[in-house]
Chains A and B, each alone.
Chain A
Amino acid sequence: MKNHPELAEQFNTDEARVNWHDETLWWVRTKRDRMSHALPEWEQLRESASQIKNNVLSNLSDYLIQFESNAKANGIIVHWAADANEHNAIVLSLLRQQGATQMVKSKSMLTEECHLNEYLEQNNIDVVDSDLGERVVQLAKEPPSHIVLPCIHKKKEEIGELFHEHLGTPKGNADPQFLTHAARLHLREKFLTRKVALTGVNFAIADTGEFVVCTNEGNADMGAHLADVHIASMGIEKIIPQRKHLGVFLRILARSATGQPVTTYSSHFKKPREGKAIHIILVDNGRSIHLGRPDFRNALKCIRCGACMNTCPVYRRSGGHSYHTAIAGPIGSILAPNLDMKKYADLPFASTLCGSCSNVCPVKIDIHDQLFKWRQVIVKEGYATSGKKVGMKVMNSVLSHPSLYRTSGKIGRWIMNHFPSVVNNKLNPWFRQREMPEPPKESFREWYQKNKKR
Chain B
Amino acid sequence: MSSREKTLEALKKNQPDQVELPAITSYEQSEKDNVLQFKNTLLFIGGQAIEVNGYGDMITYIKEHFGEAKRILSTIEALHPVAEIKAHYPDPHSLEDVGLTIVNAQFGVAENGAVWITDDLLPARALPFITEFLAVVLEKKTIVPTMQEAYDRIGISDYGFGVFIAGPSKTSDIEQSLVLGAHGPKGMTIFLI
Q: Which residues on A are within 8 Å of B, measured CB to CB? A: 24, 27-28, 40-41, 44, 47-48, 51-52, 54-55, 57-61, 64-65, 80-82, 86, 130-133, 136, 149-152, 155-156, 159, 176-177, 179-181, 184, 187-188, 191-192, 208, 216-219, 221-222, 225-226, 236, 241, 243-248, 250-251, 258, 260-273, 282, 284, 288-289, 291-292, 294, 297
Contacts and interface: CB of A to CB of B under 8 A. Distances in A.
A64 B8 contact: yes
A51 B182 contact: no
Given A132-B171, A251-B148, A261-B41, A64 B11 contact: yes
Given A82-B6, A262-B114, A247 B24 contact: yes
Interface residues of B, number: 74
A271 B161 contact: yes
Per CB-CB distance, the 3 closest pairs between chain A and chain B, nearest first, are: A218-B184, A292-B14, A288-B10
A216 B188 CA distance: 13
B160 interface: yes
A58 B18 contact: yes
Contacts of B112: 261-262
**A interface: dominant SS:** helix
A261 B151 contact: no
A48 B22 contact: yes
Contacts of B146: 247, 251
Contact of B147 (A131, A151, A152, A251): A251
Nearest to A249: B147
A80 B19 CA distance: 26
Nearest to B96: A192
B176 A261 contact: no
B160 A270 contact: yes
Interface in B136-166: 146-152, 154, 156, 158-166
B182 A217 contact: yes
Given A225-B129, A243-B156, A262-B114, A270 B162 contact: yes
A44 B13 contact: no
A48 B182 contact: no
Nearest to B185: A218
A21 to B, nearest CB: 11
Q: Which of A132, A149, A288 has the most CB of B within 10 A?
A: A288
A156 B165 contact: no
A339 to B, nearest CB: 15
B18 to A, nearest CB: 5
A314 B167 CA distance: 34
Q: Which of B112, B129, B168 has the most CB of A within 10 A?
A: B129
18 contacts: A58-B16, A61-B8, A132-B171, A151-B174, A208-B156, A221-B125, A221-B184, A222-B184, A246-B151, A250-B147, A261-B113, A264-B167, A265-B184, A268-B163, A269-B161, A270-B161, A271-B159, A284-B3
Interface string B109-130: 1011110000000001110011
A65 to B, nearest CB: 7
A225 B16 contact: no
Contacts of B53: none
Contacts of A28: 176
**B interface: dominant SS:** loop
Contacts of A61: 8, 11-12, 15
A136 B24 contact: no
Nearest to A149: B173
Nearest to A78: B4
Nearest to A50: B22
A261 B183 contact: no
A392 to B, nearest CB: 31
Q: Which of B7, B13, B96, B184 has the most CB of A within 10 A?
A: B7
A218 B165 CA distance: 10
B54 interface: no
Contacts of A179: 174
Contacts of B8: 61, 64-65
A225 B170 CA distance: 19
B39 to A, nearest CB: 14
A297 B21 CA distance: 18
Nearest to A191: B183
Nearest to B177: A176
A268 B19 contact: no
B7 A236 contact: yes
A184 B181 contact: yes
A244 B109 CA distance: 15
A226 B3 contact: no
Contacts of B177: 156, 176-177
Contacts of A244: 24, 148, 151-152
Contacts of A221: 125-126, 129, 163, 184
Contact of B174 (A51, A180, A291): A180
